[in-house]
């Protein structure tokens, strides 16, 4: 199922596709698949059947609720789902069963989208690699032993493997963009606060965001708008000749693997040849804000989960536990100092990029590593995880929204970064960039 979600919606609306038949095709594929169990924690077949039947009825009555009414999607296993286990990939939450849907899922359901199941993820969402030996590690579309990217690993795999056109994930430091890039997908990291986190298992409340993984920018926009409760009509593409783009010359270009470097520079060259105005500049503030990450993220994560982890540390995968433990000794004063410094740095960054439609960077510095090698070397796991998160995490700290788009190289993404709450403007630019990269 590599078709655009928006096209499924159009076919349902014109009567050429029945929501029940579409859902049946999804479950026929999961039932026949040898990787579905590694992707889905549960398939919500009874719920999905009821939702698809309701969509069929609305279609017959001419009362479809949105462009994605009747379209099947998957949900990362940290989104509360009524009467269905939501365990965030952790044995610490085994048996946790919410009494109601989270707000994002409720809005999707109200718009007619079909919840087909929940997807595996990194433990408590605190890893960019997507490897979870305490649950399941979903496959990477580019290789059986390659890390799928996390923490929204199953969300990405559910789309890349063709089960659904949209997987819903979360992004605290890169958890939508990394699995999207490593699986040749589009991912949208939204601005913190655009979509309510009510009913979402938290990691770092100051940074947690919700976003889709899919095959194209239009699907990313329409689904995001539904989750956010805003107008879901897609903006017009901004002519590429009117786009002013900035390439950061500092740390985001350091130490790139061969395909990441080639994919990024090829994409930038295509955009320049198509008429985009591209400037290259050093955003020095990135070097300063990078130092705040080891204070901000582990502190918030430890405040959320430290008590549970200390009560049952043996239930956690060691490198993930160690990352939480890094926040144990950080004081509230140190955190507040770092938070205020981050806010000041955001002002500097915002001023430097104010005249640009978007900032461009490689989504990830490295290619997906071997799962086997990482599981055999905890120190390598921890080091590789931080490298994988490096480029994406900057823009969580800057408070930006960001797209990742596939490049000419597999598992290599172009990150297109917009301004806070500037998703509609970012999508307008992203639509034009997508067309050029796909040409």
Q: What is the pLDDT along the chain (439 residues), one digit of tens a residue?
A: 558 999 999 999 999 999 999 999 999 999 999 999 999 999 999 999 999 999 999 999 999 999 999 999 999 999 999 999 999 999 999 999 999 999 999 999 999 999 999 999 999 999 999 999 999 999 999 999 999 999 999 999 999 999 999 999 999 999 999 999 999 999 999 999 999 999 999 999 999 999 999 999 999 999 999 999 999 999 999 999 999 999 999 999 999 999 999 999 999 999 999 999 999 999 989 999 999 999 999 999 999 999 999 999 999 999 999 999 999 999 999 999 999 999 999 999 999 999 999 999 999 999 999 999 999 999 999 999 999 999 999 999 999 999 999 999 999 999 999 999 999 999 999 999 999 999 9
Closest listed residue to residue 82, CA positions, set 27, 33, 122, 42 = 42
Cis peptide preceding 207, ω within 30 of 0:
no
pLDDT of residue 1: 52
Give pLDDT, residue 280. 97
Q: State residue 330's pLDDT score.
A: 98
Which residue stretches of 317-409 are H helix? Answer: 318-325, 332-353, 371-375, 378-397
262-to-55, 253, 403 alpha-carbon distances in Å = 44, 11, 19
What's phi and psi for 288, nearest 5 deg? -75, -45
CA gap 183, 330 in Å, rounded? 35
Which tokens go with 309?
């982890």
Instruction: Classify residue 114 by its DSSP letter.
Output: E
5-228 adopts what CATH topology? Amidase signature (AS) enzymes (3.90.1300)
The b/e string for 409-439 (b: 16+ C-beta within 10 A; e otherwise) is bbbbbbbbbbbeebbbbbbbbbbbbbebbee
Rounded Cα–Cα distance for residues 346 and 318 (Å): 34
Residue 40 neighbours by CB under 8 Å, 6+ apart: 30, 74, 117, 118, 119, 120, 154, 158
CB 113 within 8 A of CB 332: no
pTM attached to this predicted model: 0.98
Of residues 205, 169, 202, the one with CA closest to residue 188:
169
Q: Where are the domains of the chain?
A: 5-228, 240-292+317-438
Number of helices (H) and strands (E), helices first, in the chain? 16, 11
Q: Position of tokens 């120190």?
A: 379
Terminal Cα-to-Cα distance of the chain (whole angstroms): 21
- The number of CA neighbours under 13 Å toward the Cβ of 338 is 21
Q: Do domains 5-228 and 240-292+317-438 have the same CATH topology?
A: yes
CATH fold of 240-292+317-438: Amidase signature (AS) enzymes (3.90.1300)
How far apart, in whole angstroms, are the C-alpha atoms of residue 204 and residue 202? Answer: 6
How is residue 182 written in tokens? 């490593």
Neighbours of 351 (CB within 10 A): 10
Q: Which long-range contacts (CB under 8 A, 24 or more apart) does 265-273 make?
A: 266/407, 266/408, 266/409, 267/360, 267/405, 267/407, 267/408, 267/414, 267/437, 268/360, 268/414, 270/436, 270/437, 270/439, 271/240, 271/243, 271/245, 271/360, 271/433, 271/436
pLDDT at 316: 98
pLDDT given for residue 41 in this prediction = 98
In this prediction, residue 3 carries a pLDDT of: 82
Report residue 270 CA to chain centroid gap: 25
Residue corresponding to tokens 């059986």: 144
Strands (E), 62-109: 72-76
Contacts for 133 with CB less than 8 Å, ≥ 6 apart: 317, 375
237: left (phi over 0), alpha (psi -120 to 50) or beta: beta
Tokens, residue 304: 């959320």
CA 409 – CA 417 distance, rounded (Å): 20
CB 220 within 8 A of CB 214: yes
Contact call for residues 191 and 423 (beta carbons, < 8 A): yes
Residue at token pair 């930006």: 400
Within 10 angstroms of residue 31's Cβ, the number of other Cβ atoms is 10
Q: Could you give the angle at which helices 318-325 and 293-311 cross, rounded to 10 degrees?
A: 120
């Amino acid at each position: 199922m590599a078709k655009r979600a928006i096209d499924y919606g159009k076919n349902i609306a014109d009567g050429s596709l029945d929501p029940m038949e579409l859902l049946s095709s999804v479950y026929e594929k999961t039932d026949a698949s040898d990787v579905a169990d590694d992707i889905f924690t549960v398939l919500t077949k009874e719920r999905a059947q009821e939702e698809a039947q309701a969509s069929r009825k609305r279609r017959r009555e001419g009362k479809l609720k949105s462009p994605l009414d009747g379209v099947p999607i998957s949900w990362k296993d940290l989104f509360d789902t009524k009467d269905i286990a939501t365990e965030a990939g952790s044995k610490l939450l085994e048996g946790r069963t919410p009494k109601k849907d989270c707000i994002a899922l409720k809005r999707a359901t109200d718009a007619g989208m079909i919840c087909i199941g929940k997807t595996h993820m990194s433990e408590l969402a605190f890893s960019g690699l997507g490897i979870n030996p305490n649950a399941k590690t979903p496959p990477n579309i580019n290789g059986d032993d390659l890390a799928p990217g996390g923490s929204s690993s199953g969300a990405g795999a559910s789309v890349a493997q063709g089960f659904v056109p949209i997987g819903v994930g979360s992004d605290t430091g890169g958890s939508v963009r990394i699995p999207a890039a490593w699986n040749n997908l589009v991912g949208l990291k939204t601005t913190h606060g655009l979509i309510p986190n009510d009913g979402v298992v938290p990691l770092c409340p100051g940074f947690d965001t919700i976003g889709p993984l899919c095959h194209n920018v239009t699907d990313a926009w329409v689904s995001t708008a539904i989750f956010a409760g805003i107008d879901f009509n897609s903006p017009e593409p901004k002519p590429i000749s009117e786009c002013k783009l900035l390439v950061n010359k500092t740390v985001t270009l350091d130490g790139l693997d061969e395909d990441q470097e080639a994919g990024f520079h090829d994409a930038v060259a295509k955009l320049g040849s198509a008429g985009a105005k591209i400037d290259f500049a050093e955003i020095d503030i990135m070097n300063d804000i990078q130092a705040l990450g080891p204070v901000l993220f582990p502190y918030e994560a430890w405040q959320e989960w430290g008590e549970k982890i200390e009560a049952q540390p043996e239930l956690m995968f060691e490198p993930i536990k160690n990352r939480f433990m890094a926040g144990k000794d950080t004081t509230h004063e140190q955190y507040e100092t770092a938070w205020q410094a981050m806010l000041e740095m955001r002002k500097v960054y915002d001023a430097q990029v104010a005249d640009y439609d978007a900032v461009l960077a490689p989504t990830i510095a490295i290619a997906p590593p071997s799962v086997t090698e990482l599981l055999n070397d905890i120190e390598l796991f921890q080091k590789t995880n931080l490298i994988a998160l490096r480029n994406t995490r900057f823009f969580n700290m800057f408070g930006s929204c960001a797209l990742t788009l596939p490049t000419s190289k597999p598992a290599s993404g172009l990150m297109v970064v917009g301004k806070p709450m500037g998703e509609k403007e970012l999508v307008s630019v992203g639509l034009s960039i997508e067309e050029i990269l796909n040409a």
